[in-house]
Amino acid sequence: MDELLKDARRKHYAVGAFECWNSDNVHAIATAAARADAPVIFQASPAEYGTMGGADVLRRMVEGYVAKYHLTAALHLDHGSTLGHVQECLEAGFTSVMLDASALPFEENCELSRKTAELAHARNVSVEAELGHVGGAAEGGIIAESSLTIPGEAVRFVEQSGIDCLAVAIGTIHGDYRGEPNLRLDRLQEIAQSLPGLPLVLHGGSGTPHAQLMRAIRLGIAKVNICTEIHKTYLKAIDEAREHLTPSVPGKFYQPVVEAVSRHVERLIRQFRGENAL
C-alpha cells in the first residue's frame, strides 16, 4: 500500500480506502475503481472480515475482483487491535496492516506499532499506525483537543516505530458528525512539513466537507478512509429496492444496491483525485 500512497502524496491526490463487509460492496468497490481507472484500497476490520468467513476469504474475494477488472489495489487490515489480528492478516495475504493502539500512551502505542512493523516488513507488507486518537459516535462524537495529533511527537513516533504511513487526528470522527466539521488544517500542515514525503492518512472521511477534504489532501493526506458514507448508501438502496422489487429474487433485488454503492465509490475516488466529481 505504501507504494500507492507515496505516489499520491508526491502528486497531491489521495487513494480511497473503502470498508468491506460483504461480497456486494466488494464488487461495488471493484467496479467503481475500474470505471474511474484508478487505484483503490479494500480494507476491513476484524469484525467485518469475520462476518465474511475470515481474513483469508476476504483476500480471495478481493483477489478475484482485482484480476477480473485488472485493478491496481491493496488489501488493508483496518483497526486491528492485537498482534494476533496482524499475524492473521499477514498469513492471509493482506498487503498492508494497521494495529490501532492510538488510545494507549505514546510509548505503548509506539512499541506495539514497532512490533507490527517488524512482523509486516519481514513479509514485505506495509504498516499504518495512528498517533492521536480519532474517536467516533460510540465515544460521544466529542473531539477533545487532547485527542489530536501533536506535531512535535509525530517525527519521533515515525522514527521509533518504523511505520510506512501515519493516520493523524485533526478533527474527524468515525461515523456521523455532530454539527459542522472543522478540521485542524493548521495542525495537519505542521505535521506534513515535519514529515516530508511520508503518506498521511485521514480516518473518518465520511461526511467531511469537500473544501476541507481537498485542502487536507493538498497538504499531505494520501489515504482517505470511508465506511459510514457508503454503508448508508447501501442501506438506503435496499430500502428503495423493497419498494419495487421482490426479495424472493435476490439476484435482481441486489443489482441496484450494488450499482448505487459503485456509483458513490466512483464519485469519491474521482473527488480524491481532484476531478471535482461531487
- CB of 166 closer than 8 Å to CB of 154: yes
Q: In angstroms, rounded to a whole number, what is the distance separating the alpha carbons of residues 122 and 120?
A: 5
Name the helix (H) or strand (E) containing 44: strand 40-44
DSSP letters spanning 141-177: S---GGGS--HHHHHHHHHHH--SEEEE-SS--BS--
- CB of 198 closer than 8 Å to CB of 158: yes
Return all residues near 277 (Cβ < 8 A) that are at least 6 apart: 266, 267, 270, 271
Catalytic residues: 78
CA-closest candidate to residue 275, choices 216, 210, 220: 210
- CB of 60 closer than 8 Å to CB of 26: no
